[in-house]
Each structure stands twice: as structure tokens, then as C-alpha cells.
Amino acid sequence: MTLPGAMTPAWIVYAWAPVLWQAARAPQLHLVHLGTSVLTFGDANEPCSGQTLWGDDSEACAAGVAWDWIELRQGVVAMSDPLGMVTNLRLTDAHGAVLSQTQIAVHLHPLVHALPWQSEVKRALCKPS
């Protein structure tokens, strides 16, 4: 899965084909950084914010996960809404039933937490606009 251009919006993941994946296998996804954008370069009144996109581009799976981030203070970034991830994954339980968006977020959160996404956001913040 190759995204054209560096400024591809993270929310494009909504347009990707849905990927059915067992929730118990979520830790087996190998997400790589596909892009981070800075939407606002903060000032004294508003913090920096943006979006980041990660995906598993293996032959067997074209899954993506994106979320908004915000710079809390110089060098400290966090997810804007930990339950607000956007994904084309349709996680299923052991019986094949598709989980709700909230349940999916609960399964993806540990995976996202283990990614070096803060480093990628900080790298994007250092790039000249």
C-alpha cells in the first residue's frame, strides 16, 4: 500500500477496503508509519495539532489506523481522543461477530501505544513548513 504524496490526509483510511481481522490477533499486525501531518503550528494561545497514519502493508493485509494528536507542551504529544482512531479494520470476536468501534479502539490502543508514533510526530514538528 503506497500512498501518493506526503500530504495524503490520514483520514483516507476510511476509503480503504475493509479488512476483517480477529481481535485476538490484533497484536500480530505490523504497523509502519505512513505519514504525519501538522494541521496547525501552534502559538501562545493554541497548541500544535495534526494527524498520523500507520498501516500494515503486507501482502495479506492492507490495514490502516489514523488518529489526531496534539502537542500538550513543547516536545510532549498525546492522542487527542484515544477512542477516536479511524481504521478500516473490522475486528471480529472468536465467533466471527464484528466488534463495535469502541471495542475495536480498546483492542488497538495497546498496539498503538507500542508504536514510536510520538517520535514521528516530533520529527514532523521539526520540519520547516
Q: Would you say residue 6 has pLDDT above 70? A: no
Domains contained in the chain, CATH given: 16-124 (3.10.450.610)
As a whole number, mean pLDDT of residues 57-69 equals 83
Which among 118, 101, 106, 99 is positioned nearest to 54, based on CA atoms? 118
Higher pLDDT, 77 or 129: 77
Q: Which residues contact 93 (CB under 8 A, 6 or more apart)?
A: 22, 23, 99
Q: Would you say residue 3 has pLDDT above 50? A: no
Q: Would you say residue 33 has pLDDT above 90? A: yes
Helices (H) and strands (E) in the chain, counts: 2, 7
